[in-house]
Amino acid sequence: AQRVTQPEKLLSVFKGAPVELKCNYSYSGSPELFWYVQYSRQRLQLLLRHISRESIKGFTADLNKGETSFHLKKPFAQEEDSAMYYCALSYGNNRLAFGKGNQVVVIP
State yes or no: residue 100 binds other proteins (CB under 8 A). Answer: yes
Q: What string marks each residue from 78 to 97 as x (binds other proteins by CB under 8 A) or -? A: --------x-x-x-xxxxxx
Task: Taking the CA atoms of 38, 40, 42 and 47 in sequence, report the sign of the dihedral they define.
Answer: negative
Does 49 engage in binding with other proteins (CB under 8 A)?
Answer: yes
Strand partners, 37: 45, 85
State yes or no: residue 31 binds other proteins (CB under 8 A): no
The whole-angstrom separation of Cα 45 and Cα 37 is 5
Pseudo-torsion of CA 64, 3, 56, 61, nearest 10°?
Answer: -20
Instruction: Please report whether residue 4 would count as binding other proteins according to CB under 8 A.
Output: yes
Q: Which residues bind other proteins (CB under 8 A)?
A: 4, 6, 9, 32, 34, 43-46, 49, 86, 88, 90, 92-101
